[in-house]
Amino acid sequence: MKGKDQNQQNQAKAQKHTESKAVEGLLPKIKSPEDVKKLPIGELPKLASEIREVLLKTISKNGGHLSPNMGTVELTIALHRVFNSPRDKILFDTGHQSYTHKLLTGRYDKFHTLRQPGGISGFTDPRESEHDHFITGHASPVICQAIGMAIARDERREDYEIVAVIGDGALTGGVALEGLNYGGYAGKKFILVLNDNRMSYEETVGGLQAYNNRLSFGNRIFESPIYHQVRGDIHLLMDNVPREREELHAAVRRLREAALSVLTPGIVFEELGYRYLGPIDGHNIPLLIETFQRAKLMKGPVLVHVITTKGKGVPFAESSSDKHGKYHGLGKFDPESGEIIKNPGALPLYFEAFGNKLIELARKDKRIYALTAAMPIGSGLLPFSKEFPERFIDVGIAEQSEVTIASGLAKGGMRPVVAVHSSFLKRAIDEVIYEIALQNLPVVFALNNSGLVDDNATQQGPFDIVYMRMVPNMVAMAPANEHEVEAMLEFALSWEKGPSSIRYPKASITGLPKPTPDDLKIELGKGKIEVEYGEDVAIIAIGSMVNDAIKAAEMLKSKGINATVVNARFIKPLDEELIVDVASRCGRVVTVEEGHALGGFGSGVLEVLAHNNLQVPTKVLAIPDRFFDHGKRADMLKSIGLSPEGIADAAERLIKG
């Protein structure tokens, strides 16, 4: 025992020594980017090492985006070494790779609060720091943001640099490609940094990525001084030949195109109007600094192509060993082994129940296709992709393409299932309406992360009830538990008269005993009474709120208040007959939904009551008309009355008037 105690004491001393060394390191002294500039360049790799230690330690405790941040440490150090933030604007697309940026811009002391309630965000947020310029969280907008800022800068005759950092995965998004196209045409000076790690959530797909790969393997000439001299001379000629000398200008342009097609691997970007630099090693700090300094001196838009390793420095997270993006964004994990820490007794997630059922149905029906927009893990489709690779389509970060390809599949006689986060499908609502619903095509939408999630406003999914309700021909459902997920998916794939959707939260399944086949029978537009203690009040709930409504009814019963709880199941069409029946008998109604209050499920119930001239006191419990910052889902729901206690309290107040 004595030896064991001595070992523990030695370990404690070693840990204390390590922590002391960390405190005495470079990173705690960095209070602003100016401090990065003061360090000898030879110290910057040490700073990068310390940053990786802090990232690993913090993310393993708090969860967050591990791999994207590990891969951009040196890149971010070089950016802050060369540019003068916040005067120079450094923009991060998506913002999930901005943790190093936070550490270098005065947020080291608060970094332990990352993604915690009241703490700093897992994305950029200008409310947090003057070094952040947009609240981020969705991929692909940064090029257009940079163009707009450049136009505004020049209009005001101001002088500062604009640097936009975008990943190769985000570059597959439509708005990014549109920005890439217009940026060269507009000709405004900004620097676009293409952070190319060949990964989005998992491996990046598409022809553009194949082109980027050819650039990274084929560009050895970039290291030659002659290359830069010849290339610079060509651009000098182009800049100085008068436009009115049309023949001479055309001849120089032909010379430029011929020479650059040989000398410049990034000729596609050059043809779009960008000065292309790269590809370069994104972990070589001196080379990054030199390249960014060169980019500052150039006119017009410049594209710097940087090759990085996603998950750099963490063997289990590096892209070579994490092909499916397990460590892209995650919860708590063991920083030594990478083993993900699960709560004791944790149940599977809704999307896992969905994915398993989809495989079962696809074994029976070869028409079933599954589509994702770079989210095979987060949408529960990874097992499907392995068993049916020929019927699995990953379009990259391009929800509009995902939905439109599904329309073509459905038109061709297939049964496509579009698995997508609720917060991301908003980007493709035009296609949902006109390519799917207007054609009345049998496409199934599986909406994960509906309602509130443990993340910032861009990731929340409260709006899908509203936008699916407004779409003609759409059948919209929400399961109360994992058994209903399976039953609703089966119903949706049997419904061939038009599109349908199923929404469920980013939460564990309930683990309720499996209902009887009759209980699980899904009929179009039909709800179900779950408990009927009496007729003091009717609680009509949808989806994730049904189980809380049942618990609320039990609380009310202990107070002598007898409630009837309805599991609506359908958002559209609503079970008008059932709603009218329970409202008439009970005389008071509480509706409960994990969705946006304006135009949501409760609004639909009020419409039914009004249509049937039923004037009964009604309380709508829903997510209020505001955005939610990051926090714990359970805490956020409780704060707005979406908990058993909140539902019971609302019902009791309604009864007492």
Residue 341 has pLDDT above 90, yes or no: no
Q: Three-state DSSP class for 346?
A: coil
pLDDT of residue 591: 98
pLDDT of residue 5: 52
Residue 247 has pLDDT above 90, yes or no: no
Over residues 629-647, the mean pLDDT reads 93
CA distances 362 to 46, 389, 417, 424, 533, Å, are 52, 12, 11, 25, 41
Over residues 5-25, the mean pLDDT reads 49
Residue 13 has pLDDT above 50, yes or no: no
Share of residues in the chain with pLDDT > 90 (%): 73
Distance CA 423, CA 328 (A): 18
* Adjacent-strand bridge partners of 529: 566
In the block, residue with structure tokens 């950029």: 124
pLDDT of residue 219: 47
Indicate the residue type of 26. L
Any idea which residues carry the catalytic annotation? 310, 399, 427
Residue 16 has pLDDT above 50, yes or no: no
pLDDT of residue 202: 53
pLDDT of residue 113: 96
pLDDT of residue 18: 41
Share of residues in the chain with pLDDT > 70 (%): 86
pLDDT: which is higher, 117 or 101: 101
Residue 408 has pLDDT above 80, yes or no: yes
For the whole model, what pTM was predicted? 0.84
- What angle is formed at CA 467 by the lines to CA 598 and CA 599, rounded to 5 degrees? 20
Record the tokens describing residue 185, joined without a space.
């045409």
Over residues 234-247, the mean pLDDT reads 70
Least confident of 152-161, 272-281, 401-410: 272-281
pLDDT band per the 50, 70, 90 thresholds, residue 205: low
Indicate the residue type of 287. L
Over residues 615-620, the mean pLDDT reads 97
Residue 11 has pLDDT above 60, yes or no: no
Distance CA 184, CA 250 (A): 19
Distance CA 147, CA 182 (A): 8
pLDDT of residue 15: 47
pLDDT of residue 227: 57
pLDDT of residue 330: 83
Over residues 175-199, the mean pLDDT reads 92
Residue 126 has pLDDT above 80, yes or no: yes
Helix 44-62 crosses helix 285-297 at what angle (to 10 degrees)?
100
pLDDT of residue 1: 45
For the segment 528-580, what is each residue's pLDDT rounded down to a tens digit? 999 999 999 999 999 999 999 999 999 999 999 999 999 999 999 999 999 99
pLDDT of residue 225: 57
DSSP secondary structure, 109-156, as one string: TTGGGTTSTTS--SS--TTT-TT--S---SSS-HHHHHHHHHHHHHHT
Residues counted in the chain: 657
Residue 134 has pLDDT above 80, yes or no: yes
Residue 258 has pLDDT above 90, yes or no: no
For the segment 488-528, what is each residue's pLDDT rounded down to a tens digit? 999 999 999 999 999 999 988 887 777 888 889 999 999 99
pLDDT of residue 514: 79
Indicate the residue type of 59. I
Alpha helices, DSSP H only, in 428-515? 429-431, 464-469, 482-494
Mean of all residue pLDDT scores within the chain: 89
Residue 14 has pLDDT above 50, yes or no: no
Residue 47 has pLDDT above 70, yes or no: yes
